[in-house]
Structure 1
Amino acid sequence: MIRHRLAVHVAAALALAAPLASFAFQAAPAASSSVATQASATRPAQLADFDAYVDNVRKTFDVPGIGVAIIKDGQVVLEQGSGVRKLGSPALVDAHTMFAIASNTKAFTAAALSILADEKKIDMSDRVVDRLPWFQMSDPYVTREMRIRDLLAHRSGLSLGAGDLLYWPATSYSTKEVAERLRYVPITNSFRSAYAYDNILFAVAGLVIEQVSGQSWSDFVSSRIFQPLGMTETKPNFHSIKGDDDVAVGHAKFNFKELKPVEPMAWDNNPGAGGIYSSVHDLAIWMRVQLDGGVIGKDAQGKEKRLFSAERQKEMWSLLTPIPVNDPVVPELAAAKPNFSGYGEGWFVSDYRGHKLVWHTGGWPGQVSRVTLVPDLKLGVVVLTNAESGAAFQAVTMRALDAYMDAPKKDWTAAYNAGVQKTEGNADEGWQKHVAARDKSSKPSLALAKYAGTYRDPWYGDVQVAEKGGKLRMTFSKTAQLTGAMEPWSHDTFLVKWDDRSLNGDAFVTFNLGVDGNIREVRMEPASSLTDFSFDFQDLRLTPVK
């Protein structure tokens, strides 16, 4: 989220309906040696060649750098890096390299609320309006009945990624302004009736933390989670990164083709959904505390110290929102299909080979990741990457899980590569359908200058269309990166191509005319099925501002 770089749902390949990160294509960057940190536990035999396996994953899916850590029974099995922090730079990824962990942040927000619940400062069943009286959804019933727990469970009735354009790409709205605009974001499902991943309600959850604690979200998670756990390589946002820090640079496929570094982003107006940067070394600490039920040690008197209670952890790991289980996109991924899937409080919950999994993924401009816990095996696996390839972190994670489940050795790299090829082919087919349906002989109904003007959506705000030199340009007023040229496509539909080609979010823009020939409404939709769902253009209802 958070941004969730979800151009393709790797979940479809896993037969999960959970949003993961997109597949990536093309050739690999030059190989570089793995950098490992001394571990305190012995690897299982199936992971004897794990370093070479990770390097091969990196090459296959064109990922410059990958960080991996595995813990078992409270001990570090390995924590290491493979590849480089940035293409063209010699600096290697190691266990201490910080990556944007994106939506893996959500578990930290859930933990922060759990800390407050343990202190009796909130109850997870409290109504949100009792904590934030100004809070409002577009449905009065949902406004009244929304509980703090609901903010973490993706069952609000909002559509997939609803409202994401309020903060992705980066906007000038404040967190409170984002949350206040929820009253205009359309609700498409019944409350608590179905799963639909969102980021915006985690902004509200962060504001609850701030209202109750008297601290900013960043200060709270830093002082109440990072510091007690000794997570010195974990920062609440990009602004906390210093110039000499060991930090990875994200990479994206510009125009879905050429891998290049992207500019870093800070999610100032929704940090609770995806703002954290961390290393695999620190996330190994986080996984160990999770697997230990919240226990972080003992005090001077020998009394158990906890980050949160066992009861709260049980609730965070309990399934609140069922998620449909779909067939995998290719047969090679059939073994990954779970028997059940759902979402708890800041965590996905499913199963694999008879074991319960508690896990999450994250997607950010140029960086995607996965954290996976297997409670009954006391096993934790984290994979951080600096490219937008969900296939890479899946292939590494699944290899590690198999090693501890006595499963036959499987070439997950080949399996996920088959999924990549199938998904890429489906996207190409979809685009060709657009091209075939296009009426190339048609022309816009109006002179181009007539399309120019300001258009307003109730929840996003203003979008400008300007005409200069016989060409149109579109600009989202609160989003600097959403500026691009509009090319006539068919009749009164244009294709807007954003100047920032790393976004891969071009969109069709259709002007609907009234009987008098004036523009009544403007609708948009992503041009490619590979476009991240956080570009929720389809939810915009733009009307002319007179």
Structure 2
Amino acid sequence: MNRWVLMCAALGIATSSTAQTSQPVVTTASASLVPPDGWTQTPAPQMLTLKAPEGDTFVVIVDGGASGDPKEVVAAAWKRFDPGFACRIRLVTKAAATEGWDEAWAVDYETSPDEKLVLFARAMRHGEGWTVVLARGSEATFEKRAGAIRKIGESLRPAGLKPEDFVGNTALPFDAARRDQLKAFWRDAMAAYGVPGIEYAFIDRGGVVEEGGIGVKTIGKADPVDAHTRFMIASNTKGMTTLLLAKLVDRGKLGWDEPVVEADPAFRLGDASVQREIEIRHLICACTGMPRQDMEWIMTGGLDTPANKVLSLLAGMKPTTKFGEMFQYSNLLASAAGYIAGHVDYPRMDVGHVYDRAMQIEILDPLGMKDTTFSKAVAVAGNHADPRDIGMDGTVALGTIDKSDSIYFARPAGGACSSAHDLARYALNELREGVLPSGGRLVSREALLARRNLGMEIGEAATYGMGLQTSRRWGVAMVHHGGAMPGYKTDWIVLPDAGIGIVLLTNAELGTSLLDQTRRRLVEILYGARLEASAAMKTRAAALRAEYAALIVFLELVSSNTTSR
């Protein structure tokens, strides 16, 4: 199930967002899209094939005609593209119809684990005409090219339909009534996705406007979430780490363009040329060509794993794409950024403790983030939320924060526990561009904004900087970042032009969908965008229930076949 969810998300199957773009738009008879750079385009009658540079992955846009049945439309599209296609359908689910589409369906196919194959289709109707998206390729390329594939999905809309564009529009006041609209959406989404509790904060440039919690800390118990309840915030730690880098740049202890090997001669990579080329600003830009390699830290990390293991794991890493070619997320490189910053600030202390000390003194204390900690023992001893786990068959159970122990030795990339109260102070610093509530400065505006400027493309009108994502989707400027560890999904969002921001922490695996749809709902409330978020949320939840139901049938069939032998 997870592979299908991730790959559909990469193509925009469950998203509801798009943006103005100045890039070339390719049009078929029924649809238009913005093709990713470097992909081969092969037009044919009523069809456009986009092939990844690796040659093993394609996305095909097919004009589907006016047939009324989506399965028939998809079958006809495969026959046109590949007459010999004969894979069995595993599941057909209704998808969110957004960006001017009136109806959308997702089709999943049976594949074996040994194939390591991603294979799916999507059928979308506008008026009486259908457009079909066919996708087939290797898991490795789909993961590596996720940003490019997401761009295809987010930019795909009916031919001749202009995207929503709120550039130059003034946001409506984010008053109590509009905040209540967003909280009502969250309550509906919590019920749909089975999220036990959320913690939130609303900010404007004057400070924190409102903070609190909805729901409970632990399933099966009545203890409510409040604004100081600690959640794992995972990759939201990255932006804090780059804020530490920015302070050191201000002081002249580091330079954004300083070679990493000059800042820390012990730094090693498995590729000598990248090792020489990589600069401080590249460590959390997802732009070096280094792959995720998450299994190394997930399978080997623990509370007792020394922090210097990060550097030893990096010493064997080699790039899978060219430097600066595309977005590839590396938690280990991001972790190295924090440890190198700590080493520069406190060169005589050991690797792990220098980061913890530097973050406490340079970032957490000045921002007043008293709930935030890198210590699991401290986090669980007090006011904290327990994760909600979900099994492969869709069963719900109380999870455990122990599943996040593996990130501890690489904690600059994702090991902090925090609260909405604290994370609001971090988001407020982003909104106020480095100015503290006292009027003093935590960091210069130039150094803070440099973290948003690198811009590896991760979708249509969306880029990744240094532990921050910047988007102009719908013509609305957003800066945000998400975080995900087992049972914890979190996000913070600031809208610089509107002068507001939100923080949202959840304790459930399916919290990711709630976070994604919150960004859309926020634009609906503040800018009067088409009402899509609620319908997308309900459709997504129904699709997930169908996915789990199909998986249960499969597991029962496997069990029956096994016991009958």
TM-score, normalised to structure 1, is 0.66
* Aligned partner of 1:321 among 453, 456, 464: 456
Structure-1 separation of matches of 2:307 and 2:393: 31
Amino acid at match of 2:456: T
User: 1:253 maps to what in 2?
Assistant: 390
Amino acid at match of 2:441: R
Secondary structure, counterpart of 1:269 in structure 2:
helix
Q: Does 1:91 align with 2:223?
A: yes
User: 1:354 maps to what in 2?
Assistant: 475
User: 2:369 maps to what in 1?
Assistant: 231
Query: How far is the alpha carbon of 1:42 from its aligned partner?
Result: 6.8
Deviates more, 1:72-81 or 1:146-155: 72-81
Structure-2 separation of matches of 1:386 and 1:105: 17
Secondary structure, counterpart of 1:152 in structure 2:
coil
User: 1:131 maps to what in 2?
Assistant: 263
Secondary structure, counterpart of 1:68 in structure 2:
strand
Secondary structure, counterpart of 1:355 in structure 2:
coil
User: 1:396 maps to what in 2?
Assistant: 518
User: 1:296 maps to what in 2?
Assistant: 436
User: 1:307 maps to what in 2?
Assistant: 442
Structure-1 separation of matches of 2:373 and 2:535: 35
Q: Does 1:66 align with 2:162?
A: no
Q: Does 1:415 align with 2:539?
A: no
Query: How far is the alpha carbon of 1:391 from its aligned partner?
Result: 0.9
Query: How far is the alpha carbon of 1:168 from its aligned partner?
Result: 5.2
User: 2:124 maps to what in 1?
Assistant: none
Structure 1 gap ranges (5+): 21-40, 299-303, 326-338, 442-486, 488-546
Secondary structure, counterpart of 2:211 in structure 1:
strand
Structure-2 separation of matches of 1:181 and 1:149: 20
Q: Percent identity?
A: 27
Which is richer in helix? 2
Structure-1 separation of matches of 2:443 and 2:532: 39
Structure-2 separation of matches of 1:150 and 1:273: 14
Counting matched residue pairs gives 395
Structure-2 separation of matches of 1:153 and 1:428: 39
TM-score, normalised to structure 2, is 0.64
User: 1:188 maps to what in 2?
Assistant: 320
> Per-residue CA shift, 1:389-415, capped at 9, x if unaligned?
11122233432343222334x252330
Structure-1 separation of matches of 2:339 and 2:298: 15
Structure-2 separation of matches of 1:142 and 1:227: 36
Secondary structure, counterpart of 1:241 in structure 2:
helix
> Per-residue CA shift, 1:420-477, capped at 9, x if unaligned?
55577679989999999x9x99xxxxxxxxxxxxxxxxxxxxxxxxxxxxxxxxxxxx
Amino acid at match of 2:448: Q
Contact 1:195–1:321 under 8 Å retained in 2: yes
Query: How far is the alpha carbon of 1:76 from its aligned partner?
Result: 3.1
* Aligned partner of 1:43 among 175, 187, 202: 175
Q: Does 1:55 align with 2:187?
A: yes
Structure-1 separation of matches of 2:551 and 2:219: 32
Contact 2:393–2:552 under 8 Å retained in 1: no
Aligned CA RMSD, in angstroms, stands at 3.3
Distance 1:432 1:183, change over 3 A: farther
Q: Does 1:262 align with 2:399?
A: yes
Structure-2 separation of matches of 1:164 and 1:124: 29
> Per-residue CA shift, 1:277-310, capped at 9, x if unaligned?
1111122221111111101144xxxxx5211110
Query: How far is the alpha carbon of 1:163 from its aligned partner?
Result: 4.1
Structure 2 gap ranges (5+): 19-145, 151-172, 347-352
Structure-2 separation of matches of 1:256 and 1:165: 27
Contact 1:381–1:400 under 8 Å retained in 2: no
Distance 1:169 1:84, change over 3 A: farther
Distance 1:97 1:114, change over 3 A: same
Contact 1:68–1:79 under 8 Å retained in 2: yes
Amino acid at match of 2:434: G
Secondary structure, counterpart of 1:268 in structure 2:
helix
